[in-house]
Structures are given as C-alpha cells and as structure tokens.
Structure 1
Amino acid sequence: MATFFLMIIYLAFISLGLPDSVLGAAWPVMQGDLGEPMDRAGLLFMTIAAGTIISSLASGKILNRFGTGPVTLVSCLMTAGGLLGFSIAPSLIWLMICAIPLGLGAGAIDTGLNNYVAIHYKAHHMSWLHCFWGVGATLGPIIMAQSISAENSWRNGYLIIALIQLALAAILFFTLPLWKRAAGKSEPVKEETSEAEQPSGKPVKAYKIKGVHLALFSFLFYCGAEAAMGLWGSSFLVDTKGLPAATAAQWVSLYYGGITVGRLITGFITLKVSNRMLILAGQGIALAGAALLILPLPAGFALAGFVLTGLGLAPIFPCMMHETPVHFGKKHSQAIVGYQMAFAFTGNTFLPPLLGFASYHTTMGIFPLFIIAAIAAMLFSSERLNQLMKEKRKVKEGNHPAF
C-alpha cells in the first residue's frame, strides 16, 4: 500500500511537469494561428508565474485547513481546466484568463507535495519526486511535437495533456482516504528547532524564524540559475560558441537530461550521504560546469559544461526542500515551503529576464558569469544557514546538559 501511495505522488509530479515546458514548444505555431507577435508568450508566462507565486504564498493556510490530498485534487482539476481552456481559446485574452487557474493550481500542488514528502518520507523519495517532474517536463514537449507534426494542431496537444490531468484527478479522488492513513504510518522527521525554542512565549510567525530568509534566498538564486541556463543556453552557444541553432537546442536538452538523471542517481546516494553534503557537492560541481563555459576551449567542452552544470544542480532543490522541516520544525514547515516556492518562482520569473536585459546591452558572453554569480550567491546563503543551524544546536545542547 505504501508503494502504491508513493506512485500516486510521483504521478502527481509528472502531471506537474507536463504543462511547464509545453508553452515554449507550442508557441511558434500558436502565435501564427492567433496572429500574435512572438513576445506575447512572455505575457502568458508571467500570468502563469504570478498565479503560481500567489498560490504558493497562500498555500500554508489552505493546506493546513483542508489537507494535502483534497488540495492536490482541486489543484489538479484547476490545471486540467486551464489546459482545456488553452485547447479551445480563440484569442490571447482567453489564453491569459485560462492561464490564471493553470498557475494557481500548479503552485498549490508543488507546495503541498513538497512539504508532504519532506515531512513523511526520507530524502531519496524527495530526489525521485523531482526526477519525476523532469519526466513530465520532458514528455510535455514530446506530446506537443507529435500533435503538431501528425495533425498540425497545437490545440490537440493541450487537449491530450488536459485529459491526462483529468485522469490523474480521478485517481486522486478515489485515493483520498490513503493520504491520512499513509501520513500516520510515516517516520517522524528529526527537527533541529521548534516552537518551544523561540525566545518569546507567543506563537512565532513562520517568516520571522531566524534563518528563514537565508533559505528563501537560496531557492531564489537556485531557480534563477536553473531557469537562466535553460532560457539563454541556446543563445549563448549560438552567439558565443558559433553552434547551429538545432545543435544548441539539443545540447540544452542534455542539460535538462543531466538534471533528471542526476536526481535519479541522487535518490540512491542519499541513502549514504547527508542532504547538506549533497547540496554542497552539487554547488561545487555546478560551479565547475559553469566555469567550463568561460574558458576559451573547443565547443565540445561547452557541452560538458552544460551537462556538468545540470548534474550539479540536480540534488540541490530536492535536498534543500527536504531539510525544511529539519531546520524549522514540522509546525512551520508548510508555511515556509510555501514561501520557498514563492521565492523559487520569483527567481525563475525575474532573474532570466535580468540576464537577457544585461546581455542585450553588453554581450551574451556574460551568460556564464551570471550563472556563476547566482550559484555563488546560493552557496553563500545555504552555507550561512547551515552555520546558523549549527549554532542553534550548540545553544540547545548547552541548555540541556547531560547528567
């Protein structure tokens, strides 16, 4: 039963990844059919991202009140409705309206399942959870490409993905009783801090807990680096390394492959290595991969740089997420995961355009420098957080001497 329930959670994350990468694959055809300029995709992207950020911030209270299972079901129905709307939308205005439930649903699922797995399951399950997101993010463009090539219809591609979401919603509906049952059988998380450790006798707001701001910035810079690699990687390879556009796109797909495969492998490594060591190792590998892009080496080294950066980034997000209830306690973890997801989507939304703006006024050669700066900022924030947690443990041990 436990294995069956985990498969439901993994399926939910595949469904979360499915629509994330579809817009980019479909837009070249969509904008021609709708008579819109190419840059209008940015409006849709920002609308989806805004909904995701809002629902992530509000998810703490919603999930605490209704529970992860029911919220995941409703959110899945919202994303399915948004995708169905995309398949029949006659204009950009209607696409933007349908993008609202798509973003709101995605943020609630992401936050709810991340916190649920962080609290109730071990670290390897978190890594595999995000590996399944990569599976969905890979399958989405494949489904859309098949629909466009076979029927010349981007609408059918969205329809197929919407039907997959509805099928998952049906599975979630019939398995709702499993959520509480599975939670009761899971292993408790060892916490480093708790409500009782706060200096005031009054309840402490989650965002006021010491160290939370460092965790938030770690997620912001991580997602900024990950998204910037995917968005501007091809442009860098074409403009700076002189590669054909098709080859550049394939190399960037290998970057995503590095993330997906890396998370699969990380799941096994977490059985022997701590989250903190994996985060630090991943940051070092990602920095080495980005550094390869700076050096004046043959183009093949750039491919190695992209794959190495993807492998390095792979363990960071799931391991940082799994540490949340350990660092800040189970009572506050749901709210803090919501804040983390909001900062993650903020980094994902705003840092890549910042790189685009800077490169427009300078050169695309600043791409690897930007990636290195973002990873270095993430490294500083996460290591400062680890140092703070170490100091808290020392204080706690000092207050509870052994006799």
Structure 2
Amino acid sequence: MTVIAVFFLNGLTLSTYIVRAPSFKSAHHLTDGQFGLSGLLFALAAIACMQLVGPLAARVGTRAMLRCTLAVMPPLLAGLAVAPGPWWYIGGSAVLGAVHGTTDAAMNATAVAVEQRGGRPVMNRCHAGWSISAVVASLTTAALAHAGVSLTTHLVVAGALLLAAGLLLGPHLPAGTAARGSAPAARAPWTRPLLLLGVTATALMICEGGALGWGGIFLHDIRHASVSLAAAAITAYTGGQTVGRLFGDRLSLRRGRRPVFRCGAAIAAAGLTAAVLSPSAPLAVAGFALTGLGSSVLIPLVFSAAGGLPGAEPATLVARLTTFTYTGILLGPALIGWSAEYVGLLPTMAGLIPLLLLAGAVAPVPSRPASAGSGAEVPVAGRAG
C-alpha cells in the first residue's frame, strides 16, 4: 500500500538525519549549545507547521502536500551535509523540521482517510513501516561509517535515492483529505475527546521516551549491566514494537480497537514492571521487549481515533494530535531526567507504569472505525484502498 511507503520514506529520511547527528556535529564544528539549538528549532518548526496542515489540506489536499514534501525533504537532508557553516546547518535543520512536521501530519491524516474509506485498520502497518525504516537507516549508516564512506557522499547518494523514490511514489498516492477550496476545518473546536486523546498521546510518548531514552541508562546504572547488554534494552523495545505493529491491524479488525488498546496498555505496563522491578538484567531486557510489544498499537490507535472524531477534517484533527505527541517527545526525556535527579531513576521509571495503565483506561478509543466524514462508529467491513 502506497501510504505505508510514505511512512517508510519519511522514516528513512528522518532516521538518517538522527543517526548521523554525531557526524553533523563534528563536520560543522558545532558547540554543544549550537547542536542543542538545532534540535530545538527542528522540533519547534515541526510543531508550528503542523498547525497549518488542516487549512492547507482543505485547499490543496493531502496528496498534493505529500508529493511536494517527499520531493523537498531529500535535498534538504543532503544539503545539511554540505552546509557552509554551523548557522547554515542550524537554519537547514529548522527548515527540515518544518517539512517533516508537515509530512508527519499529512501522512497520518491520509492513513486515517484510507481507513475510513475502506473500513479496515491500516495505521499500525503504517507505523510499522516507519519503525522498520529506522532500523534500516541505523544499520545502513553503521555499515557505511565502518566502511569509511564520508558524510557528504552518504547523504548526497541517500538524498538522490529518496528523491527518486518519492517522485515515483507521488502519482500513486491515495487521495487522503481532498481539497475543498476553503479552510473551515481550521476553525473546528478543541473538543473534550480530542483533548483527552491528546493528553493520552503525550503520556504515551513520555513513557516511550522513558524506555528509549532511559532504558539503557537504567540497566547500566541501577542493574549494573554491561554497556552491550544495556544497549540491548533499546533494541528489544524497538523490536517488540515493530513486531506488534505488523500484527496490530489484524488484531484490531478481529477484536475491536478499544479492547486491543486496553490490552496493549496492560501488556506494556506488565513489561515495564518486569523491566524496572526485576533484579536480573536479562529479564529486564525481556521486559523492555514486552513493553515495546504492548505499546506498539497504542499511538497508531490514538491517531485513528482522533482522525475519526466529528466536527473537522481528519487532517486538522491529526495535526492537532501530532502537536501533543511532539510535546511528549520533547518533554519526556527531560521530565524523566529532572525527576530522577530528585527522587532517583528507579522510582521515576516505576512511575511510568501507572501512567500506562491510566492511559489505557481513559483514552476514548472506539471499538470500530468511523466512516468517512461522519465521525460515527461503523462496523468493520470492506477493503482498504
């Protein structure tokens, strides 16, 4: 399905940017402050542009938006490698963040629209494509760096390949949100279900930040695991998450979205309990794998639920939800660090367990998807296009 390919290409581009971060810092002689500023501007630009996706989609449609961003992101990525100075790199990172934020909201809105038209869940497979792309980018970068391939050569070639793939994919993109010639969706209210889904998404991303950003540190500092075993916590979490997303749509179709969401939250909480409270580092790694497996379905199902709410186009709703997810991404690691400094890392990580259970209990995720344009729950039937 072409919408999954969009997630894969976007994931390849962004993941390559992330895993090459040490090379960027070294190549452009960035200070710690400058490097931190580049990341902050990237995120702020992404959040700002997400707010424009709803009205822009109403005018030109998400298909046109994605055709444009898929053609723009790869040259921007390559341009970061040849930036003539640190401030050019910082500015380029902000522009890349802006285009990525637009792509992120537009592709999730497209996936929601495909679900609504076809009556079958696809969001988990879309996010699985993103997860797989992150693994591909990481392994490819490691292999190229080991072979001595320069940053410029890597990103120029990668940019050319990603650009070609995006141009080939463009004509086959699903319609997503169609252009309507105006932007009434931009004035849609912030409803209680949307806010509740947004807070849930923020909480889930804080928990994910705890597992990815602090899981290895927890094993190394608290359980005295070796560096290699501690690093395995991140691999286990992302591996479990990828596997879960490959099967999440099928489970949602058979069992309903709400039961799968609540079961996933419970499994994630059980896995995190094992990861945090087990005195054995290997068992803790297995716990992180279980956490990733359970959490794999949560964010995709929240996106599907938000896009099916009444009162606005999916592009507007998804863009607003994405603002909450990015807030969790930005705040999560920092909040965990501040809490660990005052109360300790073990109590802080343990505090994420009830947060997962609460998210599973209160999130207004419907059992069945909404039909296109209605916001009402309908039986799952038909076939996604």
Q: TM-score, normalised by structure 1?
A: 0.81
Contact 1:235–1:364 under 8 Å retained in 2: no
Measure, in 2, the Cα distance between the counterparts of 1:308 and 1:203: 39
Matched, 1:231 2:182: no
What runs of 5+ residues in structure 2 fail to find an aligned partner?
Answer: 179-183, 368-375, 377-385
| Structure 1 equivalent of residue 104 of structure 2 | 110
Q: Which of 327, 330, 335 is residue 349 of structure 1 equivalent to?
A: 330
Residue 220 of structure 1 deviates from its aligned partner by 1.2
The range that moved more, 69-78 or 160-169, is 160-169
Q: CA deviation at 1:129?
A: 0.7
Change (3 A) 1:281 1:116: same
What is the CA distance between 1:204 and its match in structure 2?
A: 9.9
Q: State the 1:377 CA deviation.
A: 4.5
State the Cα distance separating 1:239 from its structure 2 match: 0.5
What is the match of residue 124 of structure 1?
121
Report what 2:61 is aligned to: 67
CA contact (8 A) 1:82 1:98 kept: yes
Q: Which of 269, 276, 281 is the matching residue for 1:294?
A: 276
Partner of 1:360: 341
Q: Which amino acid aligns with 1:218?
A: T
Amino acid at match of 2:339: A
Q: Which of the two has greater helix per residue?
A: 1
Letter in structure 2 aligned against 1:208: W
Partner of 1:240: 222
**SS of residue matched to 1:124:** coil
Structure 1 residue ranges without an equivalent (≥5)? 1-5, 185-201, 388-395, 397-403
SS in 2 for 1:328: coil
Do 2:28 and 2:85's aligned partners in 1 also have CA atoms closer than 8 Å?
yes
Any residues of structure 2 matched to 1:4-403 within 5 Å, and which? Answer: 6=1, 8-37=2-31, 40-121=34-115, 122-175=119-172, 179-180=174-175, 205-328=187-310, 331-382=312-363
Whether contact under 8 Å (1:87, 1:155) holds in the other structure is: yes
- Cα distance in structure 1, aligned partners of 2:76 and 2:210: 26
Query: The residue matched to 2:105 in structure 1 has which SS?
Result: helix
Distance 1:43 1:135 in 2: 28
How big is each residue's C-alpha offset from its partner over 1:23-53, in whole Å with a ceiling of 9 and x where there is no partner?
4532334333333345654333222211221
How many residues get paired? Answer: 361
Deviation of 1:128 after TM superposition, in Å, equals 0.7
Q: 1:271, 1:106 → 2: CA distance?
A: 30
Work out the CA distance in 1 between the residues paired with 2:313 and 2:103: 18
CA shift digits 1:10-34 (9 cap, x unpaired): 2111111123333453233433333
What is the identity, as a one-letter code, of the residue corresponding to 1:217?
V
Deviations 1:207-250 (A, max 9, x none): 33342211111111112211231111111111011112222223
Q: C-alpha distance in 1, partners of 2:348/2:154?
A: 33
Distance 1:75 1:140, change over 3 A: same
CA contact (8 A) 2:70 2:167 kept: no
Q: Check whether the contact 2:276–2:349 (CA below 8 A) recurs between aligned residues.
A: yes
- Report deviation, 1:365: 2.0
1:94 aligned partner, one-letter code:
W
Once the two structures are superposed, residues 314-344 of structure 1 have per-residue CA deviations (whole angstroms, 9 ceiling, x without a partner) of 1111112122343335x43221111001111
Letter in 2 for 1:31: K
Q: Aligned partners of 2:84 and 2:140: how far apart in 1?
A: 21
- Report how far residue 171 of structure 1 moved: 1.4
Deviation at 1:108, TM superposition (A): 1.7
Specify the SS of the correspondent of 1:242: coil
The alpha-carbon deviation at position 64 of structure 1 amounts to: 1.3
Change in CA separation of 1:313 and 1:248 when aligned onto 2, cut-off 3 Å = same
Check 1:84–1:23 CA distance in 2 against 1; reply closer, same or farther (3 A cut). Answer: closer
* Percent of residue pairs identical: 22
For 1:183 and 1:51, the matched residues in 2 are separated by: 23
- Pick closer, same or farther for the CA change 1:360–1:119 going to 2, 3 Å: same
Which has the higher Rg, Structure 1 or Structure 2? 1
CA distance in 2, matches of 1:109, 1:29: 25
Q: How far apart, in 2, do the equivalents of 1:92 and 1:204 lie?
A: 36
